[in-house]
Structure 1
């Protein structure tokens, strides 16, 4: 029996839905429940298990999988023992020793079964997990698998564990789930949870932030606002004689030491330190937690944390979240709000300052949820290679790490030449500024932030990024504080170029910052103006550097000297598939049981779908195979970009013909209404590398694109315009 719990109609409705679907014989296997943080999803699941076992024959064992962080499986197990004390609850070790039994609920930390080197899956004196599952199936036991916060462990190994249970139903629970066609779906309305008094009536974003002032330090400004609000909340709790002591969460996306130290120094100047117990820290490599941190009257006033504890941690007295930026422009993950939305005494007080929660951040974008495969429109299925394909092999290329692209001077010359040509730059710095400004470059000497401000009832309201509720904040450049922002901007450019950070920063300084060497200087910005220019223009600079790398150069193998290895098609593979009205087999695919369900708009691009159907209906094709997109198990070819940096690309298809020829095909977006659909700026460089590789190994090859739902191929000279004569109908060549 469930004891000592207040009944909430929205919880009972969810339990009723789960019972109905798991008892029915015609329901879909996967049931996804979207429940906002604070809705009591653990209680809902415990009530469901108890109700199910009360009303069925009881020949079912429940598997409750929890995220590894925060010991959530222990918390959930203890919760179930407290409210249904007569139920059989156990951990994984117990079930490995005793076996899975009817009526039992086994709580499993994901890391026990997915982390490398775990003991649960090893052979030894205990039967391993898969043996115990097999024994249970032989005895006729049914399984229902509950996956709590599944997005935290979306891996192939996790999928293997789930599949091994062959569960009658899989119940996935998350605050960030979306409705998917091939799953049952239930959403606990956020309004119902608010009306029940379990979570705050609203979220107040950036209360007190003043757009008319110029900020000199982001961290100082937000921390002072947060502390003022904390004191106000504490006074209101004391006025109604409540023992609750509000907690401020300070979140660092990356947890960079410089940022943490700056915040610690600011808090110390305000009288809050680790030594006096007012500050706690919870980072992956640093943890200092008071015993009373989560108590309703706990002494710590501030907790420094990373994104990592955004799930599986419960501290209802947390009322304020300060999310600090460690780069110029970052996204706020909305599910983090859940940490400050719970009402500490499970009721509203009728006082706004106590019934609201508070967020302080200068982030410019808000993103709803960490999506995983459960939120996407496909499922996974394992397929096995046909015997006739098993002996096939090719040579794959790997990057030669001894060759690292052009030197700094040669790189500077190419970047300089690009900017000079594209923006018509010259020796006149005044003219250069006019030209760059006209092309969209921002020359404000302050850091611009378009931030959200206002009261939002639900997280879905928050995710809409309502422009009417945005204000523009200007921050005066501080080379100490914004040094981290500058490094972040440089790292963003580094990602698209593969260049070392020092090289990127040196090139930017040579072209735009005041200094002695004027040969390659388009602008002569002083230090503060240079910082603002780079930080405010990061997206545009990133795009320009990306275009530099897209410039085509001859892919010379003697320059490349790539390393090589043998490639064979994997004997088994997990493939995405989605439901189709009528599933038809693809007889010529390299794996058994590949069907039209694997070749849909949810799993393949249009040119890929057209090409697979073309192969399936081609009398000259013996078999065809879709190569992986990345990783050591797939066929890779080395190409060099415009800065002679080496990269790998993975041709989309391998096709074996009846006459013994082997074709390699790369599909790209074609054209529609006279406009290119291709989004790969490196298409030209990949084309040249593909041509070199095919000639070197005696293979047939081609780039394939779509136009008016017809396929065209090019394996002669690269040109993007599909009206060019080098693009021919696929039937003419392949």
Structure 2
């Protein structure tokens, strides 16, 4: 093993596993290591590379891909040079000049090769990258690609670069990885890293938060708690003779200027400012970071940051994380905890306040964050279009941006009528409140938050949403602070309606807020009560507005002509596939080498799988093609909702028959035990648009659904229930 650094058994076990799997000929290509933050994944990888090069034929070049945030590739490269100075470490530009030689380790910042608009790797250099890879292959050099925190760069461009190396093995190391069948998998238990003293013994969430106390201002309340804890930790470091200044991280999900300003003013009232060096900021558009920020005795006591530096940045003195909300209900990304879990001197002190880390947040949900497609149960493979399908084209529709749906008054009438009928609302506001409350609407005049409080030994415990450790916090409405929450709530509703935020807000105010005009008013809430009503009921309002838009619109009265363009089937496509025991090729699919591995329960819905097999075994079918779900390169059709807002939908399949007919098929969830499996509330509006489009362009079409694993088709009159006579066995029409 590498000399000069402390050995930990769990690290050596992981190195042994990597050596074994990259030497074995029958091991799987991708090797995933789930390593908790603080486990020393950089040390593990350095030890592995050194051991591998010492004990194999040495005809391997290593490529180490790192996240762009935090200059992690330079940190990793410098650490390897310090620990194994005999190794040939280099950056990408050096390898572009000299080639990828056996025994070399090239550290690459992901953003250098994937970020749009980044000129660090110009077109000529990009081509040179592929040339250099090809040269290495000609020389017989093998590649092992190491992907550090790969989920942060899960893009097609990133996949193209990974695929170009045609690596013998790809080693992924991440704190948020899942075990899947097509990869080798190794997990370092978090308990072993804790027992080694490398990370805190526990995470204390919302210590001191009092459920009996009404919060007046979220930011003030949490920052006061964090500052008191920071001072307590600092005093205890002095008691054990450690020259360490604890750092508080303040995280803003979106980094909205109003939120940042409010926090800066609060910190200034506590005596912490940029001018006295106690406050630093690290945002994508604003960065003021002291030279000694990561030093154990660094000057800054507070760092304002966004989610962007949740990976690829280390500051072991960071002990407290304050995650502020910029909306009413947000999710906490578990991997952010890693920034405060490291022990600054790589040991426990035997004092809880120093051996714990602290999280203050009013978030209600915790999740492990964005996972890579490689973490899921499928892989990607590039397929190429058959010659007989090339040249096929259809007219695709695009939104006509000159038309913006119903006006504000017409929209208000639609929404008002829906609420009136659905909840039996009248001119009696007291009765209306009773009816809405009975239907689940919350009329608390405070902002409710169901938050976690307690001590958690591992990050996994945080994701379990333990109801016994939840408390309800009530925040007094503050129209200044909660103005941001209100905008967030309105934006959530806007997403399902396509309406402008101001129009959504105006409609809500006309129906529920106290005002002079009572014509459309169901409630007359004062300002604070109105804010609380909208924020506390965001999800319910969102669903009601979604129901409004899903009402059947008369598509034939379409008052605009959609924009049009020509659609052709892409000549190549990346397809998801998963391993199957018996792989068989589909003869009639539009792309070469499309097999049953692409048509599994991991990559296709049940009606899609049934339909593809039906096409493959149908003598009347010449070829069939699965259209994409979104994107300008795919076939799209414009439909309008009940508010006459334009949306695009993408028919699932294009089928060419031997008799020259072109069919377009949209698959939807069918029925099981008499219950609908369809989750698309806009199915009726899409049906009408599909019918109009097919008639206009002389195409055959149909909606296809499943029941008892049999397919049924409808292309006449829309009906939700499959018991309706318009749903017939697919063999009768197609």
CA contact 1:639–1:686 (8 Å) conserved in 2: yes
Shift of 1:125: 8.1
In structure 1, what is the Cα distance between the partners aligned to 2:321 and 2:119? 38
The yes-or-no answer on 1:528 pairing with 2:528 is: yes
Shift of 1:116: 3.0
Q: Which runs of 5+ in 1 are unaligned?
A: none
Q: Deviations over 1:624-672 (max 9, x none)?
A: 0000000000000000001000000000000000000000000000001
- 2:63 aligns with 63
- 2:691 aligns with 691
Alignment of 1:177-256 (within 5 A): 177-256=177-256
In structure 1, what is the Cα distance between the partners aligned to 2:370 and 2:294? 25
| Paired residue secondary structure (1:128) | helix
- 1:576 aligns with 576
TM-score computed with the length of structure 2 as normaliser: 0.99
TM-score computed with the length of structure 1 as normaliser: 0.99
CA contact 1:579–1:597 (8 Å) conserved in 2: yes
Shift of 1:2: 2.3
Residues 419 and 412 (structure 1), Cα distance of their counterparts in 2 relative to 1, 3 Å cut:
same
- 2:18 aligns with 18
Shift of 1:553: 1.0
Q: Deviations over 1:400-450 (max 9, x none)?
A: 000000000000000000000000000000110000000000000010001
CA contact 2:96–2:125 (8 Å) conserved in 1: no
In structure 2, what is the Cα distance between the partners aligned to 1:138 and 1:89? 22
- 2:163 aligns with 163
- 1:647 aligns with 647
CA contact 1:393–1:566 (8 Å) conserved in 2: yes
Shift of 1:69: 1.3
In structure 2, what is the Cα distance between the partners aligned to 1:369 and 1:722? 39
In structure 2, what is the Cα distance between the partners aligned to 1:163 and 1:123? 18
In structure 2, what is the Cα distance between the partners aligned to 1:92 and 1:489? 45
Residues 586 and 308 (structure 1), Cα distance of their counterparts in 2 relative to 1, 3 Å cut:
same
CA contact 1:120–1:129 (8 Å) conserved in 2: no
CA root-mean-square deviation: 1.0
Runs of 4+ with >6 A deviation: none
- 1:130 aligns with 130
Q: Deviations over 1:27-72 (max 9, x none)?
A: 0000000001100001100000000001101000000001111111
- 1:702 aligns with 702
| Paired residue secondary structure (2:638) | strand
Number of residue-to-residue matches in the alignment? 734
In structure 2, what is the Cα distance between the partners aligned to 1:414 and 1:725? 31
In structure 2, what is the Cα distance between the partners aligned to 1:220 and 1:107? 43
CA contact 1:121–1:130 (8 Å) conserved in 2: no
The yes-or-no answer on 1:439 pairing with 2:439 is: yes
- 1:460 aligns with 460
| Paired residue secondary structure (1:31) | strand
| Paired residue secondary structure (1:567) | strand
In structure 1, what is the Cα distance between the partners aligned to 2:124 and 2:585? 42
Residues 122 and 274 (structure 1), Cα distance of their counterparts in 2 relative to 1, 3 Å cut:
closer
Q: Deviations over 1:347-388 (max 9, x none)?
A: 000000000000000001111132111210000000000000
In structure 2, what is the Cα distance between the partners aligned to 1:580 and 1:509? 55
In structure 2, what is the Cα distance between the partners aligned to 1:575 and 1:106? 29
Alignment of 1:18-417 (within 5 A): 18-118=18-118, 122=122, 124=124, 128-417=128-417
Residues 558 and 217 (structure 1), Cα distance of their counterparts in 2 relative to 1, 3 Å cut:
closer
Moved more, 439-448 or 548-557: 548-557
Q: Deviations over 1:491-512 (max 9, x none)?
A: 0000110000000000000000
In structure 1, what is the Cα distance between the partners aligned to 2:284 and 2:686? 40
In structure 2, what is the Cα distance between the partners aligned to 1:319 and 1:594? 52
CA contact 1:97–1:127 (8 Å) conserved in 2: no
- 2:603 aligns with 603
Q: Which runs of 5+ in 2 are unaligned?
A: none
CA contact 1:96–1:127 (8 Å) conserved in 2: no
Moved more, 2-11 or 551-560: 551-560
Shift of 1:121: 6.0
Shift of 1:113: 1.4
| Paired residue secondary structure (1:312) | coil
Alignment of 1:415-430 (within 5 A): 415-430=415-430
The yes-or-no answer on 1:733 pairing with 2:730 is: no
Shift of 1:560: 2.7
CA contact 1:121–1:129 (8 Å) conserved in 2: no
- 2:3 aligns with 3
Q: Deviations over 1:655-707 (max 9, x none)?
A: 00000000000000000111100000000000000000000000000000000
Alignment of 1:584-595 (within 5 A): 584-595=584-595
